[in-house]
Structure 1
Amino acid sequence: MNHGTRIASAVIATVTATALLAGIAPAAMASDGPSRAERTAGIAEQATGTADITPTTQLADGTQQAVTDTGDGLLAVTAPATASGSISATGDGITIGIALPATSDVKGIKTESGTIVYPGAAKNTDLAIQATDDGGVRSLITINNANAAKEYRFPLDLPAGAVPEQQEDGSVLVLTGADEDADIIGAFDAPWAKGANGSAVPTSYRIEDGTLIQTVAFDQNTAFPVVADPWWNPSTWNWKKIIKKTGSWVKARAKKCGIGALSAYIPVQAHHVSVNIQRARNGLRLVKFAGGPWGYVSVAAAGCLVNQLT
């Protein structure tokens, strides 16, 4: 090989190496960053925290299941393998289904923190699911920009005879039976939505033909992405029995503290463990709750009820 040929070969090798590096460098850099699923999980978890997320186990059909032992029984939450499926929440022999507001059949991706993400499940929207340690489940909507939908539909598959009933605070109870004899299966906590800067975004539920619909009223001033969350909390203990035994006892002591104590709404834990006692129909009904019997702690924390109930 003569001198000119060696120079030409060296130039060709240099150009080829440069082209290859130019082609692979961006991909290598991109792979070092978080995936869309990881970014979505991080955005959702910034809004919800991670302390109450229950780890899930993948089943043979691709679904993810979390089982919680409450001491009174087992609660199971199953997240679908794809966004076109439904969440299944089972406890005390009762199962409800919650379908996701998806327009694509993207597969769920479980992240390290336990959040299950369905990236691009709807236009300009990612969906995620978190099983919580109280046996509940959060269905998280991440709205990426102002071109996304403002309404998200969650079709409900409820047991025969069960009906959803919206409360004054925006939460939705699921009841069986009628009037004062109704039993509470569980509840969707009052709706919330947060912008990227942590500010609240107006949001509300409505029930239409067996579907829970969450409206998120973002506008040109909203900081995106926005996270919103229908949070299902089950009830595996007998609310009616507890109300019958303790309702008059709490009421009598609350009277000594004034009528304000009857409408106490005191959060006890960061993930909304609370109770709201209101007059409803022919008696008192616990109309907003999370965390089961721990809700009574919040009643005890209301004003002078601390002394009256202890």
Structure 2
Amino acid sequence: MQILTALEPLRTALAALKSGDNSDRPPEQPMDRPVLALVPTMGALHEGHLTLVREAKARAVHVVVSIFVNPRQFGPNEDLATYPRQLEADAALLEAEGVDVLWAPTVEAIYPPGYATSVQVGGLDAVLCGAARPGHFDGVATVVTKLFNQVQPDIALFGEKDWQQLAIIRRMARDLDMTHPRAEHIIGVPTVREADGLAMSSRNKYLTAQERAAAPAMNRAMRAAAARIIAGEAVAGILADLTAEVLAAGFRVVDYADLRDAATLEDLANWDGSPARLLVAAHLGKARLIDNVAVVASQTC
């Protein structure tokens, strides 16, 4: 595995991978298999990230993983300085998974002196986490655009845990007519959970033992709420009950507990059976945890 921190060496390495096209394709894989997959991360890798890597390897000939703690998606009072960084350990995990390139750029490689451009996905960025974290998704959209331009992947993979981020990136790719990857080649991978249902997250490291024991209550309450929505109960009452249950479990603040259209993130006061997501963000100790649950007509909870 090559570990690269500057753009020109990255371009050289990717050109070499792409020039081989499907030469490294195992005999059992189809000839039209995508050549290059990208898995963007901020490091502090856990099983959720590695699941993305394995899915990328199953779909493409070569895999690039980026690790970049993006300062533009952190607010002034957020955890940029303390966000976990463990590049050496992360690199060892990725090498063991057979990743071809680890792209670990410096801040200067992403935002050189005089950098002045930002990408904004209007509307989708102002709700849910965007309302609580102004400017966050501008930073996400900007850095992902740059990563797509730098790597030019055929496909890119993101976890469904941050459903709003996934929806924004897909909309951005569609609106900007991106081709590497195309919007339909931005793949969401189901959330990886601990045995007790807690969504895996690098920020789970902030939880004390007592908080960690309380954390799975949020997902349990969400699944129960989703079942009630599917059963036809009134959405407003369900969301009020969900918020109260999360707070009763020990969370100190609930930023939102919403039912939203799965694609447009439109707020749904009523559910008509179309694909939707129940999304929650809440604070537990020093950690801000997010999660979402699919609400679909065929779902059984």
TM-score bin (small chain): under 0.3
TM-score for both structures, normalised by structure 1: 0.24
More strand by share: 1
Bigger radius of gyration, 1 or 2? 1
TM-score for both structures, normalised by structure 2: 0.24
Structure number with the bigger relative contact order (C-alpha 8 A, sep ≥ 6) is: 2
